[in-house]
């Protein structure tokens, strides 16, 4: 599990419409996490939040 994996996931979600739709279809279920692991992503929610900060800075996004 890593922040780098979470950041890669966030970047891919920004660019990959099909992945974004697939994840939205899971609606937060455990199956969504299993799908992500199958796609090579492995991270915790804590790591995701840290990665969000990193990606926000990279794209000049100010969190709400």
Contact 16, 23 (CB under 8 A): no
Q: Say how many domains are in the chain.
A: 1
- The structure's pTM equals 0.84
Structural domain includes residue 64: no
Structural domain includes residue 16: yes
pLDDT in tens, 7-61: 999 999 999 999 999 999 998 778 999 999 999 999 999 999 999 999 999 888 8
Structural domain includes residue 53: yes
Structural domain includes residue 30: yes
Question: Does position 64 have pLDDT exceeding 80, yes or no?
Answer: no
Distance from chain centroid for Cα 64: 18
Note down the domain range covering 30. 3-59
């Amino acid at each position: 599990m890593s922040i780098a994996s979470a950041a890669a996931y966030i970047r891919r979600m920004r660019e990959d419409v099909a992945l974004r739709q697939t994840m939205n279809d899971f609606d937060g279920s455990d199956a969504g996490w299993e799908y992500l692991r199958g796609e090579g992503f492995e991270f915790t929610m804590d790591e995701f939040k840290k990665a969000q900060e990193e990606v926000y800075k990279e794209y000049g996004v100010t969190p709400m």
